[in-house]
Structure 1
Amino acid sequence: MRPALIALQPKKLSRYAAITKLLVKYGRSDLLDDAGLRDQCGDVQDTAASEDERQRAEQLANDLEQMGPAFIKLGQLLSTRADLLPPVYLAALERLQDDVESTPYETIERIVSEELGVRLSRGFSEFSERPLATASIGQVHRAKLRDGRDVIVKVQRPDIRGQIVDDLDAMHEMAELLEARTEFGRQAGLVALIETLRESLLNELDYRQEAANAAALRENLADYEQFIIPEVIDDYTSSRVITMQYLSGAKITDVSPAVLLEVDRRGLAEALVAVYLHQLLVDGVFHSDPHPGNLVLTRDHRIGLLDFGMVTHVPKDQRRSLLQLLLALADGEGDEAARAALDMGAAGRSFDEGAFHKQISQLVAENESKRVDQLSVGPGIMEIQRIASSCGLRLPHALHMLGKTLLNLDRVVETLDPTLDPTEIIRAQSTEIMRLHSRQRLSLQQAYNAMLEGADLLQHLPQRANRITELIASNGLKVEVDAIDEHKLIAGLEKVANRVTTGLVLAALIVGASLMMHLETSLTLLGYPAIALVFFISAATFGLVLVYRSMTTDQADPTGQGK
């Protein structure tokens, strides 16, 4: 029986219709028929069937931009899903920008004053009316604090939260229906995808979370002198306003060749890869949006990281598997790469493990044969996602974000030093990363946890021992054995016991016969005492028969039901 249709709420009808048009326009009208949505959403014609694929991908990005911030973020999230979309769509969605018209300065001034509890003119000595950048969620202004520090102030647009929440609710309802009624929805995990989008967007709507992300990364990367993360000005930060240190520099891909000649380009490229490996595999908190606009080359030739709204957290159990996967890709070990990916994934009912191992091994072999200037880890991760999906394996969100992060990182590294071999950096860093992993497992906190668990065991041990003793004394202790087939198990144990007993009897006969050989008697056979010789021959005969049955009957009847 099919699940009931979603309850169409009047205020969301436009969003339902917009999503439906996207499905039809970009070739998934089959989902409407499977989900029973076509009758509800009207008759929408497929007008894009004859368009060029690349143009359609660009048009999809444009359509998502026009639909608002939630759909822009959905497109950016889909750009990480090589298992759902062809490469041409991934490239188009990855370039999604949410530049929109700026909010009037009077509105910005009012929001800042309300959030910070101080008039703009009293909190800042300077505040630029013209924004540095505008986006669908907020916009950025240059400013200067009263103490002379140059800062940037990001201000959230008014009423944006309500619009995003409504859009997310509409997406979630559509995802639930498609996942319940279509194989594509179940395989893609549409509900989980929208939940991931919801978590990411709600975090971005709270600038205090972005401030916490920046502070965490600033602390974790304090030892990397070639990098700078702007300081958050806590007293000038709220849920809708964030104030940070201003980094003077140029987008790293826009730096002139003359300036790059003055920079240790290879050193910066190696440090950039090392920093992201450290974030990903050691700290488990990494800046997952390193596109060129968020990486600047400062005047003192350091790399500055910007925009901390998109930060991915990697659980400890996944960090080890990610390290194994990256090392396997670097070393050309296809089986190890497949095993590491399998450890992180969730296999579906249709998972074909043999095909998965074969395709991953082929991918790794092809990557190993490339020249240094063709090596790129990011596309390799994205291709692993596609293979996993086609074979019925669902990979975690962290791996999707890793693929996009490395893809963006590859482009920045290529700008700095096209000859850099990323696999060599991975190998070089792996020893230090494994050492840090070991130190984390042997940390003082882990020792405290072990001591607390040991203390808890000792504290409750007398009580538990008394309980067990009481159960034994009252004949109330029961042991349950959950075997595959109890009758076969008991029959097998009886058979083993009979064989052991027979073997002991035969051994006793042989030992007894050997001792009787030394007795003097008039009754002999072939020069030996007759009784001893009969016992010896009988025991030897039965022993050979027992060996023969063990080697033939038991192998032919492994169930233990032989006679």
Structure 2
Amino acid sequence: MGILPDQYDKYVRFFKFMLKYWNSDVFSFPSDEIQALDKENIASEFDHTPEELTEDLKKMGPTYVKLGQLLSTRPDLLPPHFMDSLATLQDDVDEVKYEEVEEIFKEEIGVRISKAFQFFDPNPMASASIGQVHKAIMHSGEVVAVKIQRPGIRKRFIEDLDTLLDISEKAEKLSEVARSFGAHNVIEELRYVLLKELDYNLEAQNLITLKANLAEIKNISIPTPFADYSSSKVLTMEFVEGVKVTKVSPLKLMDLDLTPLVDDLIKSYLKQIIIDGIAHADPHPGNVYLTKDNKIALMDAGMVAKFSKEMQETVLKLMIGLSNYDSAKVTEILLSISQYDENDVDLAQFKKNIVRKIQESENQKAKDLQSGRTLIEINQIAAKQNIHIPVDLNVLGKILLNLDQIVAFLTPEYDMQSTMKRYIHKLMQKKMKADLKPANFMELFLEMKDLTENLPSRLNKFTSNLAENEVKVKVDAFDEDRFTGAFQKVANRITAGVIIAALIIGAAMLVQIPSPYTVFGYPTFAFILFVLAALIAMYLLYQILFIDGRNKK
């Protein structure tokens, strides 16, 4: 792919940036030395400071600001202090003129601003790289916030991303460093996140989902979007009257009991991550407000994190392990979900590092405790030892890091671990109850039905292959008698399982047929089949739990 004349500037700016940082020790500073540094010494130990990198990304434009924010979730690429700086990265942008705002609104919604609203403030309340927000009053009297996307921003992002994708693809072909950092994957992830953030329809849907999911938590508020005045480039939502949590006056902090609010904030995020599987992914202090009626409002749902059912259960186990300071359990969970080459990893050293890290966070108050920092540093320890932890945990670390800052500001003496431990156990009970839904039993029944239907043919095929001497078993070393006995035991267990399933299904069918002979109100024959299934199942369970265990010893 050739470089078009109008792309020269993008390539030149990018290569100037890379010439400055490519050979910098920012990307290669040893993790054990990082842990020994404090913020005062950071400038003297690196070629470039976190503030310098942040400013350079700002100068590169909004796409690179977003890239910096994404890098703040990659502890395998940057030292902790640089990640802290990038996590709070916000770009300084000029306001969009009111005439352009009016034109975009009319083009997207189909009516003029003067017809849609009783009042519309031409001066924006906030201005960011993607859009700016104006206060307005609807004809119904409802006060709203109207977010207007910047003109041409989508085109600019796509052009910059295409340039980065092209460069990263070529870089991975030529550079081992680029391949090891997965440069192309980082840019692809940025493209995916940004294109979603550019669609305000998705943000409106996120607001609706989060509001419904958190309805039971009384001290948490989510703005309601107005669909009639929203589109992919315009988002009209309920106006939240309040201030950013970090702007609350010291006097108000002293007057208010903020502990219930902080309780609900932590509970809301644990619920989003562990139960709902969708979480507000950017709770930095600028997106969290203390409202006029003393509630916490979560703003800007353009970025959400989604967690699969498997990852939700993993996070639940991980949070229990962290809240109990159980380093062995935490290590076991991390290794079970990570990718690594056992020949290339010092597992003993990894476990030792995790133990040290978790012990450091024990019995700390909110002003000292940093759960997010702990999780991000655990990710970094793993990355430095070639253990690749799923990116979901990096996102989780960033979310918790922002929560740490908010909690420490509002309630410095707050015992965050105690609240997490209490609520996590409640969530575990709730999740177990949710798993007992009739739909889950139906799914299990269908799986048993498939097993019952397919197993005879599979056993026939297997025994036929066995009779014709076509079954091959590859083992390094074994006791032939023990192997044959174990194989026969497995076959017997499978047969018993099939019989139990057949008895239960047969009994369930017979229950539907009226009979003059009943036991406890059930047809006699159906009852007998259920009893037989139960007896065989109990005997099988006894064999597994007691006889097999004794033989193993």
- The 2-side partners of 1:473 and 1:87 are apart by 61
**Contact 1:131 1:140 (8 Å CA) reproduced:** yes
The answer (yes or no) to whether the contact 1:70–1:164 under 8 Å persists in 2 is yes
SS in 2 for 1:144: strand
Name the residue aligned to 2:113: 120
Q: TM-score, normalised by structure 1?
A: 0.76
Please name the residue that 2:337 is paired with: 344
Return closer, same or farther for 1:223/1:495 CA change in 2, 3 Å cut-off: closer
* Closer, same or farther: CA 332–477 of 1 in aligned 2, 3 Å: same
Q: How do residues 17-36 of structure 1 correspond to structure 2 at under 5 angstroms?
A: 17-28=12-23
Partner of 1:481: 472
Distance in 2 separating the partners of 1:425 and 1:141: 38
Structure 2 counterpart of 1:365: 359
| Counterpart position of 2:154 | 161
Pairing 1:22-61 to 2, within 5 Å after superposition:
22-28=17-23, 53=46, 56-61=49-54
For the 8 Å contact 2:26–2:46, the answer to whether it is kept is no
Taking a change above 3 Å as real, the CA distance of residues 180 and 54 of structure 1, as seen in their structure-2 partners, is closer
Q: Which amino acid aligns with 1:409?
A: L
1:143·1:152 contact (CA, 8 Å) conserved in 2? Answer: yes
Deviations 1:185-215 (A, max 9, x none): 3333322222221111011011111111111
Within 2, Cα distance between the matches of 1:269 and 1:75? 29
For residues 494 and 195 of structure 1, do their structure 2 counterparts lie closer, same or farther at Cα, with a shift above 3 Å needed?
same
Residues 372 and 404 of structure 2 are in contact (CA less than 8 Å); yes or no, is this contact kept in structure 1? yes
Letter matched to residue 93 of structure 2: V
Mapped to 2, the partners of 1:267 and 1:495 lie a distance apart of: 61
Letter in 2 for 1:25: K
Pairwise CA distance, 1:58: 1.3
| Structure 2 alignment gaps of length 5 or more | 28-42, 485-553
**2:428 aligned with 1:434:** yes
Q: CA deviation at 1:244?
A: 0.4
For the pair 1:493 / 2:487, whether they are aligned, the reply is no
Name the counterpart of 2:487: none
Q: What's the CA shift string for 1:259-292, capped at 9, x where partnerless? A: 2234221111122111111111111111111111
Match of 2:202 in 1: 209
What is the CA distance between 1:408 and its match in structure 2?
A: 1.1
Q: CA RMSD in A?
A: 3.0
Q: 1:414 corresponds to which residue?
A: 408
Q: Structure 1 residue aligned with 2:264, among 259, 271, 280?
A: 271
Contact 1:375–1:421 (Cα < 8 Å) also in 2: no
For residue 389 of structure 2, the aligned residue among 395, 398, 413 is: 395
Change (3 A) 1:467 1:222: closer
**Residues 223-232 or 155-164, more deviating:** 155-164
Query: Whole-Å Cα distance in 2 between the matches of residues 381 and 72 of structure 1?
Result: 24
2:151 is paired with a residue of what secondary structure? coil
8 A Cα contact 2:369 2:404, kept in partner: no
Contact kept in structure 2, 1:282 and 1:319, CA below 8 Å: yes
Deviation of 1:112 after TM superposition, in Å, equals 0.7
Match of residue 319, structure 1, among 282, 305, 312: 312
Q: Based on CA coordinates, which of the two structures has the bigger radius of gyration?
A: 1
| Cα distance change of structure 1 residues 149 and 475 upon mapping to structure 2, 3 Å threshold | same
Shift of 1:412: 0.8
Q: Which amino acid aligns with 2:215?
A: A
CA change 1:54–1:295 in 2 (3 A) is farther
Secondary structure, counterpart of 1:374 in structure 2: coil
Map residues 278-297 of structure 1 onto 2, 5 A cutoff. Answer: 278-297=271-290
Are the structure 2 counterparts of residues 187 and 370 from structure 1 closer, same or farther at C-alpha, using a change threshold of 3 Å? farther
**Structure 2 equivalent of residue 548 of structure 1:** none
Give the secondary-structure state (helix, strand or coil) at the position aligned to 2:240: coil
**Is 1:356–2:350 an aligned residue pair?**
yes
The C-alpha deviation readout for 1:324-380, integer Å capped at 9, x for no partner, is: 222222222211111122223222573332221111111112222656642221110
Which residue of structure 2 lines up, in the alignment, with residue 108 of structure 1?
Answer: 101
Q: Distance in 1 between matches of 2:217 and 2:174?
A: 50
Given the superposition, is the C-alpha separation of residues 322 and 371 from structure 1 closer, same or farther in structure 2, using an over 3 Å criterion?
same
Cα distance change, pair 177–31 in 1 and its aligned pair in 2 (3 A): farther
Question: What secondary structure is seen at the aligned counterpart in 2 of 1:239?
Answer: coil
Matched position secondary structure for 1:346: coil
Q: Distance in 2 between matches of 1:296 and 1:133?
A: 14
1:374-426 deviation per Cα after TM superposition (whole angstroms, max 9, x unaligned): 22211101110110111101122221111111111111111221011211112
Distance, in Å, in 2 between the alignment partners of 1:163 and 1:76 is 18
Verify the 8 A CA contact 2:366 2:411 in the aligned structure 1.
Answer: no
- The answer to whether 1:304 aligns with 2:297 is yes
CA distance in 1, matches of 2:458, 2:133: 66
Q: What corresponds to 1:246 in structure 2?
A: 239
Mapped to 1, the partners of 2:57 and 2:316 lie a distance apart of 35
Question: What is the distance in 2 between the residues matched to 1:475 and 1:495?
Answer: 18
Q: In the aligned structure 2, how far is the partner of 1:322 from the partner of 1:105?
A: 46
**Is contact 2:258-2:410 (8 Å) kept?**
yes
Conserved 8 A contact 2:331-2:351 = yes
Q: CA deviation at 1:474?
A: 11
Q: Which residue of 1 aligns with 2:515?
A: none
For structure 1, the residue ranges without an aligned partner over 5 or more in a row are 1-5, 33-49, 498-563
Q: What residue in structure 2 maps to residue 515 of structure 1?
A: none
* Between 374-383 and 202-211, the greater mean CA deviation after superposition: 374-383
In the other structure, the counterpart of 1:256 is 249
Q: 1:163 to 1:444 in 2, by over 3 A?
A: farther
1:197 aligns with 2:211: no
What TM-score, normalized to structure 2? 0.78
Residue deviations 1:28-85, cap 9 Å, x none? 37999xxxxxxxxxxxxxxxxx987496321221121122221111101111222211
CA contact (8 A) 1:318 1:344 kept: no
- Return closer, same or farther for 1:154/1:390 CA change in 2, 3 Å cut-off: same
Counterpart secondary structure, 2:49: helix
Letter in 2 for 1:238: S
The alpha-carbon deviation at position 476 of structure 1 amounts to 9.7
Secondary structure at the counterpart of residue 244 of structure 1? strand
Residue identity matched to 2:412: P
Match for residue 82 of structure 2 among 62, 84, 89? 89
2:163 maps to 1:170: yes
- What displacement does 1:432 show? 0.7
Counterpart pick for 1:140 among 133, 139, 146: 133
1:132/1:328 CA distance change after superposition, 3 Å: same
Distance 1:121 1:426, change over 3 A: same
Corresponding residue number in structure 2 for 1:47: none
Report how far residue 495 of structure 1 moved: 11
Note if contact 1:268-1:416 (Cα within 8 Å) is conserved in structure 2. no
Q: Is contact 1:284–1:319 with CA below 8 Å preserved after alignment?
A: yes
* Cα gap change, 1:425 to 1:30, in 2 (>3 Å): closer
Q: Does 1:15 align with 2:6?
A: no
Which amino acid in structure 2 is aligned with residue 399 of structure 1? Answer: L
Q: Secondary structure at the match of 1:368?
A: coil
Q: Percent identity?
A: 36
Contact 1:139 1:155 in 2 (8 A): yes
Q: 1:54 to 1:240 in 2, by over 3 A?
A: farther
Which residue identity lines up with residue 480 of structure 1 in the other structure? Answer: V
Residues 499-527 of structure 1, C-alpha deviations (whole Å, 9 max, x = no match): xxxxxxxxxxxxxxxxxxxxxxxxxxxxx
1:362, 1:470 → 2: CA distance?
A: 54
How many angstroms does 1:8 deviate by?
Answer: 4.5
* Structure 2 counterpart of 1:116, one-letter code: I
